[in-house]
Amino acid sequence: MTRRRARIWIGGATSLALAAGGAFVAASPALAATITQVAVSQAGYSASGLKVGSVVADGPLAPGTSCRVLEGSTVVVPSCALNDEGVVWGDRVYTVDFTALDTVGTDYVLEVDGVASPHFQIQDNVWAGYLDEMTAFYRLQRSGVATADVYPSGYSSIAPSAKAFHGPGHLDDAASEDGTIHYDLTGGWYDAGDYGIYGGNQWVGGNIAVSYLRYGDTPAVSFDNDSNGVPDLVDEARFGSEYLLRMLDAFDGGFWDVKGSGSFQHPDKHTDGIVGTKDDRRISGYGVGGSAKAAGTLAATARAVEKALDDGAIPAAAVTEWEAFAARSRAGAEAFYTYADTHRSDPLGGYSTTRGGLDNSLLFAEVELHLLTGDAGYKDSAEATIAATDFTILSNTNYWDLAPLSMAELYPAASPTAQAQIQSYLKKQLDYFLTSTDDTPYGVVDQFKNFGVNEPHVSYVADALRYYELFGDERALEAVQRGLYWVFGNNPWGTSWVSGVGEKSTKFLHTRLDEDAQNQAGTGIVIPGALVSGPNAKDPLDVKSGSPWYADRPVWQDSGQQWRYNEYSVSIQTGLFSALFGLTAVGDAPWDGGTDPAPLAVTSPQTGDYVTGDVTVFADSDLSGLALGPNWAPMATSAGVATGSFNVNGVAPYTNARVDVRGTQADGSQVYSSAHYTVAPPLPNPGSPLLYDGFGKDGLFGVQGYAWANWYNNHAGVGSVTNTTVDGRTVGRFFQNPATSASQAKFQPWHHSVDASGYRYLTVTMRSPSPNLRLRIEVSDADSNHRVTGTAPIAVSNGWNTYSFDLAAFPGLDRSQAKMVFWLQQTADTDGELLVDEVSFTNQASGTAPTLTAISHTGGSLTTDDDVTVQATYTDANGEAPHKVQLVLDGVVRDMTAVDSSDTDVSDGKVYSLTGKWVKGAHSYFVRTTDTTSEVVSSPPTTGVVVQ
């Protein structure tokens, strides 16, 4: 069945150089469009499966644009249809469906207007070719072993980088919190690119065991690539479970994190591996959530081992030993469960479930224990939890919410009442996934935040596949394929986010296994199968970036934030892991049946829009019960347009957030649509300073939660920065221990830059109790560096004072990309301490405020096809040009442009305008401006502008 999309996608950069989307849709560029990506699944496609690719361009493609598929140099599909999906995230997007091509081959490309995609393959079951990478990933994350010893040559079809292999790490894990007691906690998997091992992620071993239990009867799934006679899924589940049993031996059911990452070097270099020395890592972060998850994993592992024994998949000589291990796992699962059940008031611990608290983690344990033991008590408790679980939308990262996995596991054994509840819950989740992934043509769940989207996305993908397995909804199976194509390269960046898969896969993974990560000559690393977190709402180094954002940026360019988009972890991996094993088992099952959800589109605001004050949400739909999230307030509906509102006053500038709309279909199922927006910064004026860092997780840099870094110490010595509380203020404590009076310590807010355009002064509130301390502050842009404190470092008083530095004294400074550096130097070889309460950019009042007059808009009967022009006249008696003149349309902020750019005299009035198409509905707007030396001036609102 050919899918027909009825949604509207608007937004992004336009010929008017506006911000993305919203109520404006600007005219197409006049010049011929340029194709920037021809994107496909670089993992390939199954012969009987869905096959789609995407074409990303900077404008509409000309009619008759060529489209074909080649195998090598041979044209195998001479023409294909380009389906225009409109403007998505600032680009014109076309989709290409070539499902009819079902010939097995390894050298295909999709070519559009002479631009070729990366190469891809078509196989009978393409997913079976990536299963060895899934277990390979976990083997390379093993702690306490030399990974080369458990990774035979040729183990995976995609080879790891040689530098990925490490020696036995952290053989001295772990000491007590006070360092006086040693516990044998060697082994386990390192969680991510760092080397921590966390209780909250101990369910992942259970996911591996469940994959064998669900799909192990498929020959391709039960592979034994290390040739030890045991299926590799069972081997890996056991390795993870052995760590849990050591934790049980140490603490009788409590669970602790073992943290400590060190620098970018192999784990065997972080500590000496000798028990009892001062570098032994210590336990921390006690949490009973880890105990509950450990119970679930041990029970699932015991089930997997019993299945392998029953199937004759364990060598005869090893049967007795494996039986004993299964018995230990069963006993361990029961012990962990009992501990968690009797310590319900204890802390949950890190990475623990937020929905339903401990009951959510215990649900996983109860389901697996019931399936292992047949004890009805576990099932009764699990079903009581399910009955009390209301469906709510949550980013479905599995360590936050184990309910979908647990419910799918229990369903075949559940009571009829519980089965109905489970199906209802999982159906609601599938409806959310289907309608969220329909927001764009890429099939990705619409949940972009400040940590990549791929982890929640693949979690939903895995849950959708389990729903298909239980209930046969072919829409779920189609969505699973689309969702994986996103991960493997069918996205605006044309990037496969699975390491080693495809011509253009992520190279610069955030991992300390890459000892060259901070070397500018480094070429990255391959960790076979590792899925990175992927696109963010914004570039973490540039709050003004487009949305969503991704770049494969190495650590040396971004040592502070790279983990937000190129991080992998044992938890991120699980959705992909489950989906690939499941699709291998599903084989060539039909996927193109079912009815698409009804259309629903948020037409304003749109992803990338900047908003201020009261924001009106417009949704185009004929559904009933239209409601605005997160509290699902009813929306007003008229002529197929629903409206609601929210307010962003008091929300920090550049905050990224999501607006959700929900409607109800005739059958009672719900449809969702979302858009992401950014809170606009205030226009620069004396009354609205721009807070950069208040050292209490506030301000443009401070909100990220980082302390400033001591990058460098000139002429020896050491420095450090900590955020603390002094005199009742949250402050940054900048400390220098010099080697001599010539020592200088350099402090910087990582690589962060700020748009301080429109602000004249850098203002710092600080004091120093160190009489020998001297401070130099530098502000730089891409081309120049300026000592704003003067030619000589300054002394700082011991009392709290506010210092302002005039940036106008440096006309060569581009304040739109300002970077700051604090240098400390002592006049003698004594320690120095600087306490900073606040760093801001400010203005001072002077002159008179400008005026806005002659506000007008295009009159008459307006439709969505009409261009609407808004005009305003800016006048400033002091002759000060505006920093900006902005149209605020339904809360969405747009920059207006001068009608006559040659008119430089604003004292007698200068006209500004903006033209674009408005979405359907009743609109209101006002115009605002500032000359930066007086308060913001806004025109009275104009209301009731109707567009049909």
Q: How far apart are CA 336 and CA 862, in angstroms?
A: 67
CB 281 within 8 A of CB 175: yes
- Find out whether 574 and 479 touch, Cβ atoms under 8 Å: no
* Residue whose entry in the numeric block shows the structure tokens 């007691």: 181
Q: In the prediction, which pLDDT does 639 show?
A: 86
How remote is the C-alpha of 917 from its chain's centroid? 32
CA pair distance 677, 654, nearest whole angstrom: 9
Q: What is the mean pLDDT of residues 413-440?
A: 97
pLDDT digits (tens, 9 = 90+) for 367-393: 999 999 999 999 999 999 999 999 987
Percentage of the chain beyond pLDDT 70 is 97
* CB proximity list for 882: less than 8 A, separation 6 or greater: 850, 874, 876, 906, 912, 929, 930, 931
User: What pLDDT score does 27 carry?
Assistant: 45
| Alpha-carbon span 410 to 419, nearest angstrom | 9
- Binning pLDDT at 50, 70 and 90, where does residue 417 land? very high
Query: Does position 752 have pLDDT exceeding 70, yes or no?
Result: yes
Element (H, E) at 485: helix 474-487
Q: Distance between CA atoms of 480 and 381, rounded to whole angstroms?
A: 31
3-state secondary structure 502-528: CCCECCCCCCCCCCCCCCCCCCCCCCC
539-589 per-position pLDDT tens digit = 988 888 999 999 999 999 998 899 999 999 999 999 999 999 999 999 999
Angle CA(657)–CA(634)–CA(624) in degrees, nearest 5?
110
Whether pLDDT at 17 is above 50: no
Mean pLDDT for the chain? 94
Please report which confidence band the pLDDT of residue 4 belongs to, taking 50, 70 and 90 as the band edges. Answer: very low
How confident is residue 355, by pLDDT bands cut at 50, 70 and 90?
Answer: confident
pLDDT of residue 15 exceeding 90: no
Helix, coil or strand: residue 657: strand
DSSP, collapsed to helix, strand or coil, labels residue 460 as: helix
Cα(425)–Cα(466) distance, integer angstroms:
13
Which stretch of 11-20, 101-110, 258-267 has the lowest confidence by average pLDDT?
Answer: 11-20
Cβ distance 659 to 630 under 8 Å?
Answer: no
Q: What phi-psi label fits residue 654: left (phi over 0), alpha (psi between -120 and 50 degrees) or beta?
A: left
pLDDT of residue 544: 86
pLDDT range class, residue 120, cuts 50, 70, 90: very high
Full DSSP string of 334-373? HHHHHHHHH-TTS---TT---SSTHHHHHHHHHHHHHHHH
Render pLDDT for 917-941 as a digit per residue (tens, 0 to 9).
999 999 999 999 999 999 999 999 9
Helix and strand counts by DSSP (H, E) for the chain: 13, 41
Q: How far apart are CA 763 and CA 753, in angstroms?
A: 16
Residue bearing tokens 């900077």? 58
Residue 149 DSSP code: G
Q: How confident is the model at residue 356 (pLDDT cuts 50, 70, 90)?
A: confident
Residue 922's pLDDT is 96
- pLDDT value at 100 more than 50: yes
Query: Which amino acid belongs to residue 675?
Result: A
State if pTM tops 0.95: no
Closest CA to 942 of 849, 850, 859: 859
pLDDT, average across residues 435-440: 96
Alpha carbons 456 and 397: distance in angstroms, whole number: 5
**For residue 697, which phi and psi values (nearest 5 degrees)?**
60, 40
At position 946, the amino acid (one-letter code) is V
Residue 138 has φ and ψ, to the nearest 5°, of -70, -35
18, pLDDT greater than 70: no
CB 70 within 8 A of CB 106: no
Does 246 score more than 70 pLDDT?
yes
pLDDT in tens, 316-353: 999 999 999 999 999 999 999 999 999 999 999 988 77
Q: Sign of torsion, CA 177 180 184 189?
A: positive
Asked if 820 and 721 count as a contact pair (C-beta separation under 8 A), the reply is: no
Residues 562 and 343: their CA atoms lie apart, in Å, by 37
Segment 424-435 mean pLDDT: 97
Cα–Cα distance between 406 and 393 in angstroms, integer?
A: 17
What's the pLDDT tens digit per position in 262-289? 889 999 999 999 999 999 999 999 999 9
The residues, ordered by sequence, that sit 6+ positions from 374 with a Cβ below 8 Å of its Cβ are none
Q: How far apart are CA 912 and CA 218, in angstroms?
A: 67
Phi, psi torsion values for 46, nearest 5 degrees:
-80, 145
Q: How far apart are CA 123 and CA 100, in angstroms?
A: 14
Q: How does DSSP classify residue 130?
A: G
Give 555's DSSP letter. G
| Helices 204-215/288-310 angle, 10° precision | 30
Q: Please state, in angstroms and as integers, the Cα–Cα distance from residue 682 to each residue in 64, 393, 794, 898, following that order.
A: 46, 32, 32, 21
- Rounded to an integer, what distance in angstroms lies between the CA atom of residue 93 and that of residue 867? 23
Judged against a pLDDT cut of 60, whether residue 9 lies above it is answered with: no
Q: Are the C-beta atoms of residues 506 and 555 closer than 8 Å to each other?
A: no
The phi and psi torsions of 424 (rounded to 5 degrees) equal -60, -45
Residue 490 is encoded by which pair of tokens?
Answer: 């069918």
Tens-place pLDDT, residues 842-889: 999 999 999 999 999 999 999 999 999 999 999 999 999 999 999 999
Q: How confident is the model at residue 23 (pLDDT cuts 50, 70, 90)?
A: low
Going by pLDDT thresholds of 50, 70 and 90, the confidence category of residue 76 is very high
**Residue 849: closest CA among 687, 672, 664:** 687
pLDDT digits (tens, 9 = 90+) for 654-686: 999 999 999 999 999 999 999 999 999 999 999
d(CA 138, CA 529): 9
Q: What is the spatial distance between Cα 623 and Cα 642, in angstroms, rounded to a whole number?
A: 10
8 pLDDT above the threshold of 80:
no
CA pair distance 869, 864, nearest whole angstrom: 13
Predicted confidence band of residue 482 (pLDDT cuts 50, 70, 90): very high
